[in-house]
């Protein structure tokens, strides 16, 4: 039987419902969404008045305003595997492997997201999904964590029934789609009653606060949602103006003419009341900090070469910052000055193969294709892409980065933990474990570079076919 529901529509509905749920749970997130709207309205207005370059993809109304990502943290293979099945119903698949031990966390992650241009343009909702690495915990903590995780079930029985039914029949009725959303939301809902004792919680927290967050509660609460903005510096300023507890700095590359990858900031997690079990079966009052709001500005997707250059420059900046104890404006100045090494025009990024692009025919190119003139102009010999661009037959636009950055994620995690020592030897000397992650997941993780390269290649092929040329 053929799948009979609209995955893109279901994803959009789920994202919307989750956003509404989170606004009621964390009202400051609702304020953040308003601040983003205020900043974007002002940025669009300012860009119309001056000749500011704005990523055209950002102002497309279809993605703008509804765009969100969220993040969850899981503990077991069953949880990860079931989340994979749940997201695939909404057309979200695991892309990219993130080794968070690089940033001092005993965790690794992937992002579930739509993978085709069409699905991304309909609704790009994605969920950064972290899994605790048991191999990076000390023996006693591991044992307690495994025990706590074993006794919880983060999925409703009805959700599991629907997933089994989808696997078997491949179809869902409209009523089942609604049930899927309502039951799916339960996995992400906050519960203030912990499943562990205060002593156990303190033991987890002493080893790493994120262990406590992952294993102490009965659901895998969504820990933040993130709207996308076109001017993150303005959002940061407005957060401060509104007295919101903004993180100290924006993560990622500095502001540039050609924005690359991802820039992120957040408001810090709030301290919330939680109740811990005590041995007599009653509850004692305590607190936990976990949930926050984040903002992101997306730039261009970089090739492997572009990403290597980005990582090299960022490492230089961070080494210098450590050596000279740079903070605040001094850090920002060092970042800006080192990043002048990264080319900042579209033509350089393309010619040096640093970013990915989508190629299209120009109006002149369309005319040529329609009249079958390319062959008579160029004959049957291969014609270079550069020649077609120079002659105004083809044009290009950068592809947007749809993924995440481990060090930037680390900065977001950290600003929401208070002061934690990050120097645990076991974690810092860990190796990435993609195979281990895929085993828990029960599926392969797609390589993000491959997906962008494929989109670029398809756009070239499309132009070539339209022009009737053999090779470009």
- The residue ranges that bind ligand OOG (CB under 6 A) are 71, 73, 128, 130, 223, 226, 264, 294, 404, 408-409, 412-413
Partner from Ni ion, ligand OOG, none binding residue 105, C-beta < 5-8 Å depending on class: none
Among 133, 20, 96, 18, CA closest to 450: 96
- Interaction partner, residue 130 (ligand OOG, Ni ion, none; CB < 5-8 Å by kind): ligand OOG
Q: Pick the closer one to Ni ion by CB: 71 or 368.
A: 71
Q: Give the DSSP letter string of 173-187.
A: -HHHHHHHHHHHHHH
CB of 111 to ligand OOG, least distance (A): 9
Cβ at position 199, least distance to Ni ion in Å: 31
Nearest of 348, 340, 338, 266 to residue 302 by alpha carbon: 348
- The token pair at 10 is 């279901």
Q: Shortest Cβ distance from residue 434 to Ni ion (Å)?
A: 21
Q: Min. distance of Cβ 69 from Ni ion in angstroms?
A: 6
> Can you tell me whether residue 68 is helix, strand or coil?
strand
CB of 412 to ligand OOG, least distance (A): 5
CA distance 411 to 250: 9
Residue ranges that bind Ni ion, judged by CB under 5 A: 71, 226, 294
Residue pointed to by tokens 């996995």: 187
Sign of the torsion formed by the C-alpha atoms of 306, 312, 317 and 318: positive
CA gap 382, 361 in Å, rounded: 17
Binding-site partner at residue 456 among Ni ion, ligand OOG, none, CB < 5 to 8 Å by type: none
Smallest distance from the beta carbon of 405 to ligand OOG, in angstroms?
A: 7
The partner in contact with residue 95, picked from ligand OOG, Ni ion, none with C-beta cut-offs of 5 to 8 angstroms by kind, is: none
Q: Which lies closer to Ni ion via its Cβ, residue 200 or residue 294?
A: 294
Nearer to Ni ion, 71 or 469 (CB): 71
**Sign (positive or negative) of CA dihedral 162, 166, 169, 173:** positive
Smaller CB separation from ligand OOG, 72 or 394: 72
Q: How far apart are CA 319 and CA 9, in angstroms?
A: 46
Nearest residue by C-beta to ligand OOG?
409
Which of ligand OOG, Ni ion, none does residue 408 bind to, with CB < 5 to 8 Å depending on kind? ligand OOG
73, containing H or E segment:
strand 68-74
**Minimum CB separation from ligand OOG for residue 294, in Å?**
6
Residue placing its CB nearer to ligand OOG in the complex, 22 or 404: 404
CB of 109 to ligand OOG, least distance (A): 7
Pick what 73 binds: ligand OOG, Ni ion, none; C-beta below 5 to 8 Å, kind-dependent.
ligand OOG
Instruction: Report how far residue 23's alpha carbon sits from residue 30's, in angstroms, rounded to the nearest whole number.
Output: 5
**Distance from C-alpha of 461 to C-alpha of 434, rounded to nearest angstrom:** 32
Buried b (16+ CB within 10 A) or exposed e, 373-396: ebeeebeeeebeeeebbeeebbbb
Looking at the Cβ atoms of 272 and 320, the one nearer to ligand OOG is 272
Q: Which is nearer to Ni ion, 130 or 216 (CB)?
A: 130
Q: By C-beta, is 123 or 223 nearer to ligand OOG?
A: 223
């Amino acid at each position: 039987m053929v799948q009979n529901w609209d995955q893109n529509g279901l994803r959009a509905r789920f994202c919307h419902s989750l956003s509404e749920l989170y606004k009621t749970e964390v009202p400051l997130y609702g304020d953040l969404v308003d601040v983003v709207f205020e900043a974007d309205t002002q940025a669009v207005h300012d860009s119309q008045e001056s000749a500011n370059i704005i990523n055209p993809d950002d102002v497309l109304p279809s993605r703008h305003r509804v765009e969100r990502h969220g993040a969850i943290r899981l503990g077991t293979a069953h949880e990860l595997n079931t989340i994979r099945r749940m997201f695939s119903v909404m057309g979200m698949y695991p892309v990219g492997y993130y080794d968070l031990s690089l940033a001092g966390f005993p965790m690794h992650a992937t992002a579930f997201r739509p993978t085709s241009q069409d699905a991304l343009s309909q609704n790009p909702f994605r969920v950064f999904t972290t899994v605790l690495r048991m191999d990076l915990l000390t023996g006693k903590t591991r044992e307690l964590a495994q025990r706590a995780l074993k006794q919880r079930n983060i999925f409703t029985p009805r959700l599991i029934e629907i997933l089994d039914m989808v696997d078997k029949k491949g179809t869902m009725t409209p009523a089942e789609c609604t049930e899927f959303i309502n039951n799916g939301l339960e996995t992400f809902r906050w519960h203030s009653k912990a499943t562990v004792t205060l002593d156990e919680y303190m033991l987890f927290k002493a080893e790493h606060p994120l262990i406590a967050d992952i294993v102490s509660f009965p659901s895998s609460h969504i820990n933040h949602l993130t709207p996308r903005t076109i001017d993150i510096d303005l959002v940061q300023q407005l957060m401060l103006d509104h007295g919101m507890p903004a993180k100290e700095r924006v993560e990622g590359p500095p502001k540039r003419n050609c924005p690359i990858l991802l820039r992120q900031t957040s408001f810090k997690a709030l301290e919330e009341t939680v109740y811990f079990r005590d041995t007599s079966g009653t509850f004692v009052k305590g607190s936990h900090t976990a949930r926050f709001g984040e903002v992101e500005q997306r730039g261009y997707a970089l090739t492997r070469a572009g990403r290597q250059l980005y990582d090299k420059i960022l490492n230089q900046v961070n080494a210098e910052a450590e050596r000279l104890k740079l903070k605040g404006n001094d850090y920002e100045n060092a970042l800006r000055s080192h990043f002048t090494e990264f080319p900042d025009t579209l033509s350089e990024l393309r010619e040096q193969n640093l970013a990915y692009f989508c190629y299209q025919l120009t109006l002149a190119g369309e005319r040529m294709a329609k009249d079958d003139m390319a062959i008579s102009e160029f004959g049957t010999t291969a014609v270079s892409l550069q020649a077609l661009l120079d002659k105004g037959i083809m044009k290009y636009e950068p592809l947007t980065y749809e993924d995440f950055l481990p060090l930037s994620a680390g900065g977001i995690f950290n600003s929401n933990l208070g002061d934690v020592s990050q120097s645990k030897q076991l974690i810092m000397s860990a190796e990435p474990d993609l195979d281990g992650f895929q085993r828990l997941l029960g599926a392969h993780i797609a390589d993000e570079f491959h997906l962008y390269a494929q989109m670029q290649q398809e756009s070239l092929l499309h132009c070539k076919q339209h022009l009737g040329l053999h090779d470009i």
